[in-house]
Amino acid sequence: MDLRDLHVLHWRGAHVAAATAPEPASGQDLWLIDTCQRRVAVVCGAAACAPARGEFPAHGVLETFQGTDAYAFLLRFACGLESKLVAETEIFGQIKQAWRSFSERGSPLSRQLSAWVQLLFQDAKAVRAQYLGNLGSASYGSQVRRLLGDDAAAAAVPAHPTEGATLLIGAGHLAQSVAPWLSGSDLWICNRTVERAWELARELSKRSEDKAVRVIEGGFEAELDAWRRARHVVACIPSDREGDPARVAAWRERTEPGGRVIHLGLGATPTAPWDDLPGVVSLGSLFEMLRSHSQLRARQLQRAQHACLEKALLRSLGANASHPHSWEDLAAFQTL
């Protein structure tokens, strides 16, 4: 497959993402990548673009990329440079999982794309290592751990504090990405479906045998009791008009001082009853943390964006190209 035949369609918007590469509704041979922020379709040839448009929501703007621009977009996407949480690390794993699911179907397109996708993964790792490695981890989990670490350092505690547990509410994709970062104390997991909580607990135990993980069973009352006894709470579920007042009340009933509530199901500004809870952190607060990073971070991201385009141009010279190899090529890079 020639790089000029690579076409990418991109729709950006919040929606419920598929867990694996979804099957095209039209039956067309295309690679779909679904995340909570976007949907991407990868096809071969311009003729495949028109029917592929039917795989996207009717609202919003649909972008299209071809050839070098398509490869550069996929590279930025894989590096987390297209994400709202810029340079996040989870997206690379999501793309790899989507490719694994798609390639297992053994379609003609998967065989055509295989070599290019392997190069994409190789280039994404290189860009992250060279330009984003010293940036500091930019994942939801790392931001949560930084917030909890800052809170622990600033809290006024007795001379011999008893380190309390961290309560994680939820066991979905977001909770799974955050949970490995919740180190330093016991972890309690509570989820509406207890089986999902146990699945997450077993996975965490495999990664770290020394980590104490407990599943909270017994329904909503057991969850409220855990709110009263936990040091920190990280909620990875949507806001709940019926249950949230009881959760806030249970948190206020704690006898130990300090601790923090991080609610990743809230928007930029916490609403009732969370807006009346001192120190509650919403998902929007995590984005604000990134906005406050130094100008050095901005320059690093700019260099990473530039590197993605440069690598795409090099790939357009040949699949195995890794550096400019003629005066004409060098002159072309001067325009970047």
Domain residue extents for the chain: 3-136+295-333, 140-289
Burial 164-191 (b: 16+ CB within 10 A, else e): bbbbbbbbeebbbbbbbbbeebbbbbbb
What are the tens digits of pLDDT across the range 45-77?
999 999 999 999 888 899 999 999 999 999 999
Coil, strand or helix at 132:
helix
What are the tens digits of pLDDT across the range 254-293?
988 889 999 988 877 788 899 888 889 888 777 776 566 5
Report residue 100's pLDDT band, with 50, 70 and 90 as the boundaries.
very high
pTM of the model: 0.57
Fold classified for 3-136+295-333? Beta Polymerase; domain 2 (3.30.460)
Distance (Å, rounded) from C-alpha 293 to C-alpha 146? 13
User: What's the rounded mean pLDDT across residues 104-122?
Assistant: 96
Beta bridge partners of 38: 12
Report residue 44's pLDDT band, with 50, 70 and 90 as the boundaries.
very high
Name the H helices within the chain.
49-52, 68-78, 90-103, 108-127, 140-154, 173-178, 194-207, 219-229, 244-252, 283-291, 295-316, 327-333
Beta bridge partners of 65: 8
Element (H, E) at 188: strand 187-190
Which is more confident, 69 or 161? 69
Give CATH superfamily name and number for 140-289: NAD(P)-binding Rossmann-like Domain (3.40.50.720)
- For residue 111, is it left (φ>0), alpha (ψ between -120 and 50) or beta? alpha
Report residue 84's pLDDT band, with 50, 70 and 90 as the boundaries.
confident
Q: Which has the minimum average pLDDT: 76-80, 111-115, 295-299?
A: 295-299
Same fold, 3-136+295-333 and 140-289: no
The per-residue pLDDT for 327 is 37
The per-residue pLDDT for 154 is 36
What are the tens digits of pLDDT across the range 119-144?
999 999 999 999 887 665 556 787 78
- For residue 82, is it left (φ>0), alpha (ψ between -120 and 50) or beta? alpha
What are the tens digits of pLDDT across the range 238-253?
989 899 999 999 999 9
Say whether pLDDT at 34 is over 80: yes
Beta bridge partners of 158: none
Whole-angstrom CA distances from 98 to 20, 118, 308 are: 6, 13, 21
- Tokens at residue 40, please? 């991407």
Say whether pLDDT at 92 is over 90: yes
Which is more confident, 295 or 93? 93
Distance (Å, rounded) from C-alpha 97 to C-alpha 119? 16
Whole-angstrom CA distances from 305 to 73, 273, 320 are: 10, 41, 21
Instruction: Show Cβ contacts of residue 200 under 8 Å, excluding neighbours closer than 6 positions.
Output: 171, 175, 176, 179, 189, 191
Say if CB 225 and CB 252 are below 8 A apart.
no
The per-residue pLDDT for 291 is 64
CB atoms within 10 A of CB 2: 11
